[in-house]
Amino acid sequence: MRFIALPVAVLGFSVLGWADPVPEWHPPTVTDFRGPCPMMNTLANHGYLPHDGRNITKEAVVSAMGSALNFDPALANIMFEQAVIANPEPNATFFSLDDLNRHNVLEHDASLSRMDAYFGSNHVFDQATFNETRAYWGPIIDADMIANSKVARQLASKAFNPTYRFTEHIEDFSLGEMAAPFIAFGDIKKVTVDRELVVYLFENERLPTELGWTRKTQVIKVEDILAINGKIGAATSLFTVDNAPNTTAHDMNRRRDLHAGIPC
C-alpha cells in the first residue's frame, strides 16, 4: 500500500471504539470490492470498514483505523487523503476499495504479495509472489529483512516486467507499506515483528487474534511511521559503511583516481 483537526465526535468514537472486541471476520462475497492493500481488505472483512468495500468516507477511515489499530485521527486522516485520490470522480469525498486497483495511482509494481499488472491481477493475493517475499524473513522480521524483500521484488519486477515503473513518489508510498506490519503488530522502537503475525495477515486478510495478537495500547502517530520509514529506507541501501581504521595516503590517491576514471 507507500502514510488536522477532526470533529470531536469522530475522535471520541475512535477512542471509545478501541476497547471493543474485534468484530467477527467474514470473507468477501463475489459482489464485494477489495483492493491491493491487505490491511484495508482486512478491515473490511472485519466490518471496521463497509464490508462491501464501497463508499468509504473520511469518517469511516478515521473510525476504522482508531478502533482496529489505535491510529491517531491525524494519521488516519492522512491515509484517507492519500486513498481518495484514486477515486476518478472530481472532488470526491469517498472511495471504494476497487478504486485502489487503478495501476500506477497508488497500486504499483513490485508488490510484496501481488503480481505486477503486466502479468495479470494487480490486487488479488498471489501465493507465488508472496513466497518470494517471505523467503527473506526470519522468525522475527526486522528492518533489514523487510528491506531485502522489498529490493528483491523490485529487482525481479525490473528484470522481467517490460513496463516496470517505480518512481521516487512510489518509493515514499512503498516505505509506508513496509512500515505497516511493524506499526500494527510489532515493536515500533526496535522495528521488529513476529513473522507468523505478518504471514497470517497477508494470507488470510484477517487480524491475527487467533495467534494472540491484541491491539496496541499506545496511540500510533505520524511520527511513528516516519521513524520506521527512515530505518527501512536506510536498510534498502546496498552500500556499506567503511570502518577501516587506517586510511593511507595511497588509499586516498587510489580513490581519487577511481573517481576521475583513471585505471589503476
The predicted model scores a pTM of: 0.84
Residue 70 lies in a domain: yes
Q: Residue 220 belongs to what domain range? A: 8-260
Question: ∠121-144-73 over CA atoms, to 5°?
Answer: 70
pLDDT in tens, the chain (264 residues): 443 333 333 333 333 344 478 999 999 999 999 999 999 999 999 999 999 999 999 999 999 999 999 999 999 999 999 999 999 999 999 999 999 999 999 999 999 999 999 999 999 999 999 999 999 999 999 999 999 999 999 999 999 999 999 999 999 989 999 999 999 999 999 999 999 999 999 999 999 999 999 999 999 999 999 999 999 999 999 998 877 555 555 555 554 444 444 444
Question: How many domains is the chain partitioned into structurally?
Answer: 1
Residue 169 lies in a domain: yes
The CATH number covering residue 36 comes to: 1.10.489.10
Per-residue pLDDT tens digits for 25-82: 999 999 999 999 999 999 999 999 999 999 999 999 999 999 999 999 999 999 999 9
Residue 1 lies in a domain: no
Q: How far apart are the first and last CA of the chain?
A: 46
Residue 143 lies in a domain: yes
Residue 210 lies in a domain: yes
Give the strand pairing for 94-95 and 56-57. Answer: antiparallel
Q: Identify which of 238, 263, 220 has the alpha carbon closest to the alpha carbon of residue 70.
A: 220
Residue 71 lies in a domain: yes
Residue 3 lies in a domain: no
Q: Which residues pair with 220 in a beta bridge?
A: 71
Residue 2 lies in a domain: no
